[in-house]
Amino acid sequence: MNYKMIGWIHALILSVAAVFMLPALLICLFDGDSAATRAFLYTVMLTAAVAAALLLLCRGASKSFSAREGLLCVSSCWLVVSILGCLPFVFSGAIPSFIDALFETVSGFTTTGASILSDVEALPRGLLYWRSFSHWLGGMGILVFLLAIAPISGRNDGSTMHLLRAESPGPNVGKLVPRMKQTAKILYLLYILLTLLNIVFLLLGGMPLFDSVCTAFGTAGTGGFGIKNDSIAGYSPYLQNVCTVFMLLFGVNFNCYYLLLLRRFRNVLKDEELRLYIFTAVAGVALVALNLRGVYATSGETVRHAAFQVSSIMTTTGFSTVNFDLWPSFSKAILLCLMVTGACAGSTGGGFKCGRIVLLLKALRRNINELIRPRRVQVVHQNGLPIDEKVLKNTYAYLSAYVGIVIISFIVVSLDGFSMTSNFSAVLACFNNIGPGLDAVGPVCNYAGYGVISKLVLIIDMLAGRLEIFPILIWLSNSMWKRQ
Amino acid sequence: MKIIIAGDGKVGATLTRQLSAEGYDLTVIDSNQHVLERSLEQYDVMAVQGNCASMETLLQAEVKDAELLIAATNADEVNLLCCMTAHGLNPKLHTIARIRNPEYIRQIYRMRELFSLSLAINPERQAAQEIERLLRFPGFLKRDSFAKGRAEIVELKLDENSKLRDVPLHKLNGIVKCRVLVCTVLREGRAVAPDGNFVLRAGDRIFVTAPAHDLSALLKNLGIVTRKVSRVMLCGGGTVSYYLAQQLLKGGMDVQIIERNHDRCLQLAKLLPDASIINGDASSRDLLSECGLESCDALVTLTGLDELNIIISLYGNSQGVPQIITKLGRLDAANILDTLPIGSTVCPKELCSSNIVRYVRAMKNQTGAAITIHSIADGRAEAIEFLVDKSTLHCGVPLKELQFKKSVLVACISHGSVTEIPNGDSTFSVGDTVVIVTSGEEVIYQLNDIFA
C-alpha cells in the first residue's frame, strides 16, 4: 500500500479545504461575529497545520497507486474533510456536540441535506455559507476538483482514473477527453457555469445575493440545506419554479451537457437513462398532482408543489415548499419510491441511479427470455452499445449491497423507538442523500432526536450513498488489508 | 486488354474462367505455386508467384502495361495495399478490390476515393442484398432488376397446380392480366427461347420480364399467395447472415439466427441486438422445431457447408416453409439441384464475379456499352441492359420491320419513367434503356450487335 501517496493526497485535499473556508471566514469578519470568526480561524489554522505536516511527512511519494488505494484514499479523504469541516460548528458553539456537528457536515459534503438543527436561521451567516458550500463541493466531488487543479498524476500515469471512478457516481465511469485532468476540468467548468446560471435566475426573481448563492449551492450539489427554517416555502412561486428546473438539470448526467456542447444532439436524445429519468419525473409529477386534487386552492399551485417536491426528492436534493408529510399516502408512497430511483449516473444526485435501473430491467428481460428459450444468446445493450458482463455483475453486486445496507441500517436505527415510517424513510433519505424523510424526520422536523449510534449509522449511510457503497465496504474486506 | 488477377482463390478462379473465355489476356498472381499450376493447366493464362502487394511481383506481372487489376486475396488490407501499389506504378490502371470486412462497410465510398479504387466488391454483402430482394417478393426464385429498378426479370417455377400449366404463351397475358413477356424457358436443363405457340409444362422454370410495379399483380393473378415475410430463420451465423439480418431487421422483420459456435453467437448478439441468436446445431431437427421452423415465413440456409444447407432446406420444405433460399459455395451441381425442392439458390462467388465481368465489359466498350449484365437460367442465357445513343442503328423503326440475330430478344424498353414490354409496333429512341435477352453462344458487346 502506497501510504505516502495517500497521505500526500490528503494533504492536498486539506489545503484545498482550508482555502475554501476563507470566504466563510470573511463573511464572519464582515458580519462582526467574533465567535464564528474565531472558530473559522482556528479551523483554518489547524487544517493548514495538518496539511503542512502531512506534506512534510509524505514528500517524494511515488505517484502510482492501484484500485484499492484509490478506493481507500477516496473514503478516508471524505472522512477527514468532514471531521475538519465540522470543527467551525463545534468551536463557535453553534452545534456543541461533536457527533451532531459531524452529522451536519457529512450531510453537507455528501449532498444529503439532513439536519439536526431546529432553528437554522439562528446560525451565523458564515456557518450557513459553509454548510451550503459543502454541498457544492461534495456534489461534483472533492477529489475531482483536486484532479482538475493539482498535479496528482505523473506524466504517463493512468492511476488517477481510480480516483475518479471511486468518487463519480454511476455504473459506467468514463473520460470525456483523453486526459484525466482535462476531463475533471470540463466537469467543473460545466458545473460552475450551471451554478452561475442558477444564481442569475434566482437574482432576477428578487432573491437577495446571499440567499441566491446558498440556494444555488444547495441546488447544484443536489444537497438541500436551506438557509430558512421553512426551506424554499417562503420564496415566490417564480423562485420555486427556478429551483424545480435547476434541480432537474443538476440531476442529468454531465456527459450529456458535454455532448450538447459538442452538438451531438442525437446521442443526448437517444440516451436511455435520460429518457427513463425524464419519464419518471413526468410520471411522478402527474401521479402526485392527480392525487393532490383539491388540496391546494388552484390546480396551478398543485402542479407547482407536485413538480417541486417530485424533482426535489428524485434528484435527491431535499428542498421543500410544503410539508409533504401531510400529503395523502399515495403521494408519499410515490415520493418514497422516487427516493430510491434517484437521479442519473454522472450527475450530482444520489440514489440508486436511473442508469442502474435501466441495466437491471434489461438484464431481467434477458433472464426471462433465457428461461423461455435456454439456447438463446443475448447481450445487454445500452444506447445501442453492448454492455460488458463485468458492468452487469457490478450492478447486481451493487443492488445486493444496497439492499443489505438498507436492511441493517433500518434495524439499528429502529432501536431509538420512532415509528416504522420515520426509521425507514430516515434510512432511505440519508442513504440516498436526500435529507428530509417522512413522519418524525419529515420536512418540518429534523434528525436531532436520534441517538448517537443511530446518527453514526446514518453518517456511514450518507457516505456510503455518496461514494457508491464500495469505497466504504472495502474497509470491512479482509483482502483490502492483506499485504500484496 | 490485359488484366491482372491477384489472388487465385474461389473468386479468383471463377474470374479466371469467365474472363479467359471472353478472350482477355490474364496474368494471375498468387503466393501458392500449387494453385497457380492448377490455373495454368486449366486456362490459357500467365502466372506469377509472389506477394501481390510487393512492387517486384507487380512489375513481374507487367502492371505497367495492364489496364485492370482485380485484387481478390482473402485479406482486405492486402487487397487495398495491392491496388494502391499498382496504382502508384501505373496511374492509368483501373483497380477492383474485394473488401469484405463488415467493419469497413460504412466507409466503402470514402475508401474508393482514398485508395483510388474503381470498384470495391463485397461478395457476402451482395449475396445478402440478393437474398433480401428475393424475400421482399416471396414466390420468385430469382429477381434481376434493370433500368434503375423499373423493370425486372423474375424466375418462376411451374408445378402441377400452376395456372400456367399447358398454356400456350400467346394466352399468357390474358391470364396474368398485365403485360409480361416470357423471355427464356429452362426445360430439362436446356434454355429455350419460346415463341407465341410455345406451350408451358409443369416443371418448367420460366424467366419473365415485367415492369416492377406489375410484379405483385403477376403473383396475385398466378394464384401464388404472397404473404408478406415477417418471420425469417437464418441457419448459420456467418458474414452473409450478419448483413442479411441487418437489412431484414431494418425492414421490421423478426429474425432468428442459429449458429453453432458460442463465441460467434455472442459476437452476433452484440452486433444485432434485435435479432434472436440461438446457440445450437442447425442440422438438429429438434432445435429447428423448438425454434418454430413450421411457423416461419422463410428459411435461409447460410452455413459454410453446401451439403448441410441443402439438407436443411429440404427439411424446411418438408415442414411446409413457404419460402426457402439456399446459399451454395459452388454451382457445379446446379443441374442436379434443379430437381430438388430447395427453393432459390444464391452463390456469393458467382454474384461477385458476374459483377466484375460486367465492369470489365463496360470498360472494354466505353460507348454503347452494356449498363448491366445479368446471367439468368443458370448462366445459359444473359439479360443485358443498354442505353440507346446516337450511334445506335434503327432508332424509331418498329421492331417488326427489323431483322435480329437468332436467339436475341428485346425484353423491355424504358422511355423515361415508362417501362414497356415491347410488341411488333414498339420502337426505341435515343435516351431509352433497352433490355436484351440472349441465349446464344456469341457475346453481345454493343446494342448494334443484336441486329442481323
Q: What residues of chain A lie within 8 A of the CB of B293, using their CB?
A: none
Give pLDDT tens digits for B346-356.
Answer: 888 888 888 88
- A250-293 pLDDT, tens digit per residue, is 999 988 999 898 888 988 898 999 999 999 999 999 999 999 99
State the average pLDDT for chain A: 89
Question: How large is the angle between the packed helices A125-140 and A3-31, nearest 10 degrees?
Answer: 150
Whether residue B278 and residue A386 make contact (CB cut-off 8 A), yes or no, is: no
- B262-301: string of b/e by CB count within 10 Å (b at 16+)? eebbbbbbbebbebbbbbbebbeeebbeebebeebbbbbb
pTM: 0.81
Contact yes or no for B269 and A384 at CB 8 A: no
pLDDT of residue B263: 94
For domain B231-321, the question of CATH label 3.60.20.10 is answered with no
pLDDT at B334: 67
Q: Which residue has the higher pLDDT, A162 or A193?
A: A193
- Residue B216's pLDDT is what? 78
Residues of chain A found within 8 Å of residue B292, distances taken between Cβ atoms: none
Q: Is the pLDDT of residue A431 over 90?
A: yes
Can you give the pLDDT at residue B254?
92
- Helices A98-109 and A125-140: crossing angle, nearest 10°? 50
Q: Which residue of A has its CA nearest to B292?
A: A373
Reported as a pLDDT band with limits 50, 70 and 90, residue B89 is very high
Q: Are A378 and B269 inside 8 Å of each other by CB? A: yes
- What ranges do the domains of chain B cover? 2-121, 140-221, 231-321, 366-450
> Predicted confidence band at A173 (pLDDT cuts at 50, 70, 90)?
low
Output the CA–CA distances (angstroms, integers) from residue A350 to A355, A462, B260, in the order listed: 12, 10, 44
Q: B343 versus B263: which is more confidently predicted?
A: B263
pLDDT of residue B369: 63
**CA–CA separation, B135 and B128 (whole Å):** 10
Cβ–Cβ < 8 Å for B72, B12: yes
Query: CB neighbours of A313 closer than 8 A, spacing ≥ 6?
Result: A335, A338, A339, A434
- DSSP state string for A181-202: HHHHHHHHHHHHHHHHHHHHHH
- From A453's Cα to the closest Cα of chain B, the distance in A is 49
| Residue found by looking up cell 424513510 in the block | A425
Alpha-carbon Rg for chain B in angstroms:
23
Report the pLDDT value the prediction gives residue B177, as an integer from 0 to 100. Answer: 81
Residue with cell 459543502: A134
Mean pLDDT lowest among A214-223, B65-74, B114-123: B114-123
Q: What percent of chain B has pLDDT over 70?
A: 97
At B114 the pLDDT is 86
Tell whether B319 lies on the interface with A, counting CB pairs under 8 A: no
Which of 3.30.413.10, 3.40.50.300, 3.30.70.1450, 3.40.50.2300 would CATH assign to domain B366-450?
3.30.70.1450
Determine the pLDDT at residue B451: 84
The partner residue sitting opposite A375, judged by closest CB among B266, B270, B278, is: B278
Q: Which three cell numbers stand for residue A280?
A: 419518471
- B271/chain A closest Cα distance in angstroms: 8
Mean of the pLDDT values across residues B414-418? 81
Q: Which of B423, B420, B383, B418 is nearest to B399 (CA)?
A: B423
User: What's the pLDDT at B430?
Assistant: 85
**In this structure, what DSSP letter does residue B200 have?**
-
Residues 6+ apart with CB under 8 A from B425: B398, B399, B400
User: Of A316, A232, A325, A254, which is closest to residue A280 (Cα–Cα)?
Assistant: A316
Closest approach of A374 to chain B, Cα-based (Å) = 9
Across B333-339, average pLDDT: 71
Question: Which of A64-73, A103-112, A171-180, B293-302 shows the lowest per-residue confidence on average (mean pLDDT)?
Answer: A171-180
A174 has a pLDDT exceeding 70: no
- Find the CB nearest A379 among B266, B276, B287: B266
pLDDT exceeds 60 at position B128: yes
The ipTM value here is 0.75
Q: What is the mean pLDDT of residues B27-35?
A: 92
* Chain B nearest C-alpha distance from A384 (Å): 8
Average pLDDT over residues A60-86: 85
What value does the mean pLDDT take over residues B151-179? 82
Q: Nine-digit cell at A419?
A: 415509528
- Tell me whether the CATH fold assigned to B2-121 matches the one assigned to B140-221: no
pLDDT (0 to 100) of residue B347: 87
To the nearest whole Å, the CA of B240 is away from the closest chain A CA by 19
Residue A428: what pLDDT? 95
A388 vs chain B: nearest CA distance in angstroms? 10
- Comparing B370 with B269, which gets the higher pLDDT? B269
The whole-number average pLDDT for the span B270-299 is 90
- Residue B44 makes CB contacts below 8 A (sequence gap 6+) with B20
Architecture of the domain whose range is B2-121: 3-Layer(aba) Sandwich (3.40)
CB contact under 8 A, A377 and B277: yes
So what's the pLDDT on residue A461?
Answer: 95
Please check whether residue B310 is in contact with residue B333, taking contact to mean a CB–CB distance below 8 angstroms.
Answer: no
d(CA A330, CA B189): 78
B402 Cβ under 8 Å from any chain A Cβ:
no
- The whole-number average pLDDT for the span B421-449 is 82
Instruction: Please indicate if any CB of chain A lies within 8 Å of the CB of B266.
Output: yes
What mean pLDDT is predicted for residues A440-458? 92
Task: Indicate yes or no: CB of B276 within 8 angstroms of CB of A384.
Answer: no
Per-residue pLDDT at A170: 64
- The pLDDT, as a whole number, for residue A484 is 60
Confidence category of residue A136, pLDDT binned at 50, 70, 90: very high
- In terms of CATH, what superfamily is B140-221? Regulator of K+ conductance, C-terminal domain (3.30.70.1450)
Place of cell 473520460: A175
Q: Count the residues in chain A.
A: 484
pLDDT at A205: 92
Average pLDDT on A181-198 reads 90
Eight-state DSSP code of residue B431: T
Q: Could you tell me the sign of the dihedral formed by the alpha carbons of A301, A303, A306, A312, in that order? A: negative
CB pairs under 8 A between A and B: 31
Mean pLDDT of chain B: 85
Q: How confident is the model at residue A69 (pLDDT cuts 50, 70, 90)?
A: confident
User: B50: burial class by Cβ within 10 Å (0-12, 13-18, 19+)?
Assistant: middle
> How is A336-380 classified by DSSP, letter by letter?
HHHHHH-S-TTSS--SS-HHHHHHHHHHHHHHHHHHH-TTEE---
Nearest CB to B265; choose among A377, A384, A386: A377
A156 pLDDT above the threshold of 50:
no
Q: Return d(Cα A44, Cα B134) in angstroms, integer.
A: 79
pLDDT at res. A85: 93
Least confident of A136-140, A171-175, B322-326: A171-175
Q: How confident is the model over B40-51, as a mean pLDDT? A: 90
Q: Cα–Cα–Cα angle for A23, A26, A27, nearest 5°?
A: 90
Residues A101-128 have pLDDT tens digits of 999 999 999 999 999 998 899 999 999 9
Task: Please tell me the predicted confidence (pLDDT) of residue B368.
Answer: 59
